[in-house]
Structure formats: C-alpha cells, structure tokens
C-alpha cells in the first residue's frame, strides 16, 4: 500500500537518502548517514537536493552553509564532517 503524503508535500519531488547507496570512507560517519536517512529532502534542499539540478554538487565545507539551506549542518559538526558530494 502506498504511503500518503501530507497535503503540503503533494506534487513535490522528495529525495530520501538510501544508506545502502552511500559510500562512506570513514566508519565514524556511518551514524551521520543513518541520521540523514531518517529525513526526506525536497528538490534544491541540501547537497543531495542540489545535485538533482546539476547532476553533481560538491561543497568543500558544509559547516559554512546556512542551516536553512543545509538542514544537517549541526549533525555534520557533531560527527566532525566537512566536505560533501552528491551525484544524481
């Protein structure tokens, strides 16, 4: 049975992080990926949402991003992460 989206999200493209599709070269970052996988992103939101627009998106230091633009800034800080890349 298909899960019904709240009215505010109907008609919008949502992106869900699939942790099995993520490459993490630091085992300590695995918890960060699990945390991100708990939330959906809209197109243009976050690093992955911007990759939907340009096929690839790279940020050398996510800590310089505004929390409104990248909702995982605090989690990235908590886990000591900086650079991020997303490929469509």
Domain residue limits, the chain: 19-87
pTM score, whole prediction: 0.64
Rounded CA separation 72/63 (Å)? 9
pLDDT band per the 50, 70, 90 thresholds, residue 1: very low
pLDDT digits (tens, 9 = 90+) for 47-76: 878 887 888 889 999 888 888 778 888 888
Element (H, E) at 87: strand 84-87
pLDDT band per the 50, 70, 90 thresholds, residue 2: very low
Rounded CA separation 76/55 (Å)? 23
Work out the mean pLDDT of the chain and round it to a whole number: 76
Give pLDDT, residue 67: 84
């Amino acid at each position: 049975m298909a899960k019904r989206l709240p009215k505010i999200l109907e008609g919008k493209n949502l992106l869900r992080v699939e942790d099995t599709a993520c490459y993490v070269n630091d085992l300590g970052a695995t918890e960060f990926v699990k945390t991100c996988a708990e939330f959906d992103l809209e197109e243009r939101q976050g690093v992955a949402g911007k990759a939907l627009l340009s096929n690839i998106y790279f940020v050398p230091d996510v800590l310089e991003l505004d929390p409104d633009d990248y909702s995982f800034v605090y989690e990235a800080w908590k886990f000591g992460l900086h650079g991020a890349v997303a490929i469509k």
